[in-house]
A and B are shown apart, each in its own frame.
Chain A
Amino acid sequence: MKGLSVSKAVTALMLAGLVLLPLYSYLSGNVFILTLFTRIVILALAAASLNLIMGFGGMMSFGHAAYLGIGGYAVGMLAQEGVGSGFIQFPVALAASAIYALVIGALSLRTRGVYFIMITLAFAQMAYYVASGLARYGGDDGLTVYKRSDFSGLINLSNRTQFYYLCLACLFGVIFLIWRIVNSRFGLVVQGLRSNEQRMQAIGFPAKRYQLVCFVISGTMCGLAGALLANNTDFVSPAVMYWTRSGDLMVMVILGGMGTLLGPVMGAVVYLLLEEFLSQITEYWALIMGPLLLLIVLFGRGGIMGLLGRAGRG
């Protein structure tokens, strides 16, 4: 019980911090921290979506950054073609991500284990090279988004605070949805399949159908993160789809705690803050980050959430 309360307290503190951050930024005059945390919140959303298939569904997708790119390019390409309305851009970003997930998932889910990891990686790299080849949309150099998505006065994405709260609302919304899904009939089936596919087939569940739907839900959620990210950076390039970015997302999930509701958020906050902090100290920050992550993965089974749980129990 006490273990639960420690991790709960830290989680609550983190969430309160995220909600109050713009206030701190305003009072201290530190604008940079708001920009930094907008990025953290968006990538936390992406990590949370990955956690749905990886942590709860047991599907180790190594190509999740592809959706960041697809969502981002949907916004960027539409903006370039003169369609500036967010009411069109965002639905298109989500739909494109869902369709990509449906096709990739249908093909990838024929495989298991390492092959699944490799095939999702391969597809994401294909998406990366396709984006690099889009000469009209900047190719390798990427595409500048000159005007952020326009929600006709409802919310102004160019206002830092408003945009931050939009991202945060999206994150909380997605976490809420994942919470409901995980405890629903569907969620129990997906987690059952992670645990023992043979048993689930034997009691009458066709595995692939459920896993594919889960894969599509996750991809769509990450597409939302992509659309937000393009607005945040006013720029989208093939680099957001590169495999190292997929790796970053996986690290955030594992670091925070796979299969926990708020672990990925914790993971994203810690990982990106560490990256920011260490890269200010030395340009060889990866040399410190690497072993640090290794330690957490080796000794903190269940990631930060697992550590907090054990710390509470003493």
Chain B
Amino acid sequence: MAEPLLRVEKLVRRFGGIVATDHVSLDVASGELHAIIGPNGAGKTTLISQLTGHLAPHAGSVSLGGRDITYLPAYRRCALGLARSFQITSLLLDFTAADNVALAAQAHAGTSFRFFANARKEKGLRAAAHAALDRVGLAHRADVLVSKLSHGERRQIELAVALASKPKLLLLDEPMAGLGVTESQGMVKLLQELRKEVSIVLVEHDMPAVFALADRISVLVYGRVIASGNPDAIRANEDVKRAYLGDQHVVTHHG
């Protein structure tokens, strides 16, 4: 196998006495959709935060496309092709949908130390924003303030913002969180489309979605990866069943 797009090696992060990330290693190949699942408190968000650069690990390394990015700040990783969506929607509420997405495009299109020309009239940025909004099916809401959009629409904008930076790897932190049944189905359909264009790391609670989408799944329990493999292997894995049976029956139910 060629060099993986994302390689995480023996990552460790502690909070006081608690080891939230315990020697986690995983590879994400180019073109792969790699899902990370695990019960509540397994350390999924802690792991994601270390991948995006919002949290520094105590040991181990993260590399993207062969380059060590363990201690790079978030904005530098973004320039290298790493984009993320937030578990709790994090957008510019007092900006329009189009402005939110155009800013992401702007971050990757030359310097932003331009003080005079009207940025909202830059055709390239507007076109990129429109394309990304169109991709998630929200082109008709482009000029609406994000604060006026529904929760489901905001989740879609999150995705459009991530897409507008033309990432190599997309880190999606629970994109289905808080979505209704039909909205979730729409999101799954959308992710099925996107995965053809970009590699994705998906952290998600929605098991049917994960099993429908993932090429590979890593199961995180108490900060450790207890199993990693394709959906069938994970479904059959005894450790995984045991870990989940305590609080959730999702794997056996939907599997």
Chain A contacts for B78, CB-based, 8 A: 202-204
Please, how many residues of chain A have a CB less than 8 angstroms from a CB on the other chain? 24
**Are the CB atoms of A206 and B73 closer together than 8 Å?**
yes
Q: Complex: how many Å from CA A188 to CA B122? A: 13
Q: A183-B119, A188-B106, A204-B79 are in contact. Are A199 and B90 (CB under 8 A)?
A: yes
B93 contacts A by Cβ under 8 Å: yes
Segment of B38-46, B110-118, B176-184 in the binding face:
B110-118
Beta-carbon contacts under 8 Å, B75-113 to A: 75, 78-79, 83-84, 86, 90-95, 99, 103-104, 106-108, 111-113
Partner among B52, B73, B104, B115 whose Cβ is within 8 Å of the Cβ of A184 = B115
B189 contacts A by Cβ under 8 Å: no
Task: Looking at the assembled complex, report how far the CB atom of A294 sits from the nearest CB atom of chain B, in whole angstroms.
Answer: 26
Q: Complex: how many Å from CA A213 to CA B115? A: 11
Chain B contacts for A203, CB-based, 8 A: 78, 83, 103-104, 107, 161, 165
Query: Which of A203, A205, A206 has the most chain B CB atoms inside 10 A of its CB?
Result: A203
Please, how many residues of chain B have a CB less than 8 angstroms from a CB on the other chain? 35
Q: A204-B107, A206-B73 are in contact. Are A186 and B92 (CB under 8 A)?
A: no
A188: nearest chain-B partner, CB-CB: B119
Task: Looking at the assembled complex, report how far the CB atom of B239 sits from the nearest CB atom of chain A, in whole angstroms.
Answer: 34
**Are the CB atoms of B115 and A181 closer together than 8 Å?**
yes
Chain B contacts for A195, CB-based, 8 A: 92-95
Q: A183-B119, A201-B74, A205-B112 are in contact. Are A196 and B90 (CB under 8 A)?
A: yes
Chain B contacts for A185, CB-based, 8 A: 106, 111-115, 117, 119, 122
B10 contacts A by Cβ under 8 Å: no
Task: Looking at the assembled complex, report how far the CB atom of A105 sits from the nearest CB atom of chain B, in whole angstroms.
Answer: 16
Task: Looking at the assembled complex, report how far the CB atom of A258 sits from the nearest CB atom of chain B, in whole angstroms.
Answer: 12
A210: nearest chain-B partner, CB-CB: B112
B14 contacts A by Cβ under 8 Å: no
B67 contacts A by Cβ under 8 Å: no
Interface of A is mostly: helix
**Are the CB atoms of A189 and B90 closer together than 8 Å?**
no
A192 contacts B by Cβ under 8 Å: yes
**Are the CB atoms of A188 and B115 closer together than 8 Å?**
no
**Are the CB atoms of B90 and A184 closer together than 8 Å?**
no
B120 contacts A by Cβ under 8 Å: yes
B93: nearest chain-A partner, CB-CB: A195
**Are the CB atoms of B119 and A184 closer together than 8 Å?**
yes
A187 contacts B by Cβ under 8 Å: yes
Q: A181-B115, A185-B117 are in contact. Are A202 and B93 (CB under 8 A)?
A: no
Q: Complex: how many Å from CA A201 to CA B95? A: 16
**Are the CB atoms of B114 and A186 closer together than 8 Å?**
yes
Q: Complex: how many Å from CA A189 to CA B83? A: 18
Beta-carbon contacts under 8 Å, B35-78 to A: 52, 54, 73-75, 78
A180 contacts B by Cβ under 8 Å: yes
**Are the CB atoms of A202 and B115 closer together than 8 Å?**
no
A198 contacts B by Cβ under 8 Å: yes
As a 0/1 sequence over residues 154 to 172 of chain B, the CB contacts with chain A under 8 angstroms (1 = contact) are 0000000100010000000
Chain B contacts for A206, CB-based, 8 A: 73, 75
**Are the CB atoms of A202 and B92 closer together than 8 Å?**
no
Q: Complex: how many Å from CA A127 to CA B105? A: 42
Chain B contacts for A210, CB-based, 8 A: 112
Chain A contacts for B75, CB-based, 8 A: 201-202, 204-206
Task: Looking at the assembled complex, report how far the CB atom of A49 sits from the nearest CB atom of chain B, in whole angstroms.
Answer: 15
**Are the CB atoms of B74 and A192 closer together than 8 Å?**
no
Task: Looking at the assembled complex, report how far the CB atom of B24 sits from the nearest CB atom of chain A, in whole angstroms.
Answer: 21
B162: nearest chain-A partner, CB-CB: A203
Task: Looking at the assembled complex, report how far the CB atom of A18 sits from the nearest CB atom of chain B, in whole angstroms.
Answer: 25
Task: Looking at the assembled complex, report how far the CB atom of A58 sits from the nearest CB atom of chain B, in whole angstroms.
Answer: 11
Q: Complex: how many Å from CA A198 to CA B73? A: 12
Task: Looking at the assembled complex, report how far the CB atom of A120 sits from the nearest CB atom of chain B, in whole angstroms.
Answer: 23
Chain B contacts for A213, CB-based, 8 A: 113
Chain A contacts for B91, CB-based, 8 A: 196, 199
Chain B contacts for A186, CB-based, 8 A: 112-115
As a 0/1 sequence over residues 196 to 218 of chain A, the CB contacts with chain B under 8 angstroms (1 = contact) are 10111111111000100100000
Would you mind naming 14 contact pairs between A and B with Cβ atoms under 8 Å apart?
A180-B115, A184-B115, A184-B118, A184-B119, A186-B112, A189-B112, A195-B92, A199-B161, A201-B75, A202-B83, A204-B104, A204-B165, A206-B73, A206-B75
Known pairs A183-B118, A188-B99; list 19 more (Cβ under 8 Å). A180-B115, A184-B118, A185-B115, A186-B112, A186-B113, A188-B119, A191-B95, A195-B93, A199-B91, A200-B92, A201-B74, A202-B75, A203-B83, A203-B103, A203-B107, A204-B79, A204-B107, A205-B75, A205-B107
Interface residues, chain B, with chain A CB atoms under 8 Å away = 52, 54, 73-75, 78-79, 83-84, 86, 90-95, 99, 103-104, 106-108, 111-120, 122, 161, 165
Interface residues, chain A, with chain B CB atoms under 8 Å away = 180-181, 183-189, 191-192, 195-196, 198-206, 210, 213
